[in-house]
Chain A
Amino acid sequence: ETGVTQSPTHLIKTRGQQVTLRCSSQSGHNTVSWYQQALGQGPQFIFQYYREEENGRGNFPPRFSGLQFPNYSSELNVNALELDDSALYLCASSLVSQVNVLTFGAGSRLTVL
């Protein structure tokens, strides 16, 4: 098993900028989901992708968007960054046939100034 890797681990942006976070899913995992974890809080579901299509979304505005690629990698894009977007962004992958087995990456820590 290769696990889930995320990049970058830390980054700093300013308000209004755009950011792309990347995730390499565990080999063979065809479902990827993204979560936002604000400091001191539990992760909040952003969206999920299966076979390169979004199939579930949480209460996040459209400026949060994503992509999933055939090689099991994925991206989270956030436009027009706001201060409240500062958080740890977690990627999790799974097999659609094993919905209860999520493997999380270590996350990307985004700071918006």
Chain B
Amino acid sequence: GDSVTQMEGPVTLSEEAFLTINCTYTATGYPSLFWYVQYPGEGLQLLLKATKADDKGSNKGFEATYRKETTSFHLEKGSVQVSDSAVYFCALRGKTSYDKVIFGPGTSLSVIP
């Protein structure tokens, strides 16, 4: 079945450091890909998405490119801030309204001043 794999955390970075969180997926067809963020004590918020190969999703300085050839959707940010500390989930969803969202296990990020 479809699945999502993420790099294990926790990840600890200094403020203004470069961030990469790796994500790879296994799916039939061409799913849509997402990054969600979960701040402490809160639900999930959609950070960015890409719906077809070579699409780049971006939001709040974060970027991820849908790579069909490597089945990857790595999250990057050039300069992290303390406020970026959260858990990040990579996810996929098929193309129909019946398809569920499949989440990866999450990667915890801590940014220290």
How many A-B residue pairs lie within 8 Å, measured between CB atoms?
61
| Distance (whole angstroms) from the CB of A41 to the closest CB of chain B | 6
B93→A42 contact, CB < 8 A:
no
Interface residue total, chain A, C-beta cutoff 8 A? 26
Interface residues of B in 59-113 (CB under 8 A from A): 89, 91, 93, 95-106
With a CB–CB cut-off of 8 A, which chain A residues contact B95? 99
- Given A42-B89, A42-B104, does the pair A104, B44 have CB atoms closer than 8 Å? yes
Interface residues of A in 11-70 (CB under 8 A from B): 31, 33, 35, 40-45, 48, 50, 55-56, 58
| Distance (whole angstroms) from the CB of B17 to the closest CB of chain A | 24
B43→A104 contact, CB < 8 A:
yes
28 A-B contact pairs sorted by A residue (CB < 8 Å): A33-B101, A35-B101, A41-B105, A42-B89, A42-B91, A42-B104, A42-B106, A43-B44, A43-B89, A43-B101, A44-B103, A48-B98, A50-B97, A55-B98, A58-B100, A90-B43, A92-B101, A99-B93, A99-B95, A99-B97, A100-B51, A102-B46, A104-B36, A104-B44, A104-B45, A105-B43, A106-B42, A107-B43
With a CB–CB cut-off of 8 A, which chain B residues contact A113? none
With a CB–CB cut-off of 8 A, which chain A residues contact B89? 42-43
| Distance (whole angstroms) from the CB of B79 to the closest CB of chain A | 27
- Tell whether A83 is near chain B: CB-to-CB under 8 Å: no
Q: How large is the interface on B (under 10, 10 to 19, 20 to 34, 35 or more residues)?
A: 20 to 34
With a CB–CB cut-off of 8 A, which chain A residues contact B97? 31, 50, 55, 96, 99
Taking Cβ atoms with an 8 Å cutoff, the residues of A that contact B are 4, 31, 33, 35, 40-45, 48, 50, 55-56, 58, 90, 92, 96, 99-102, 104-107
B100→A43 contact, CB < 8 A:
no
A43→B103 contact, CB < 8 A:
yes
With a CB–CB cut-off of 8 A, which chain A residues contact B102? 45
Known: A41-B106, A55-B97. 15 other contacts (CB 8 A): A40-B105, A42-B4, A42-B91, A43-B89, A43-B103, A50-B97, A92-B101, A99-B93, A99-B99, A100-B93, A101-B46, A102-B101, A104-B43, A104-B45, A106-B42
With a CB–CB cut-off of 8 A, which chain B residues contact A41? 105-106
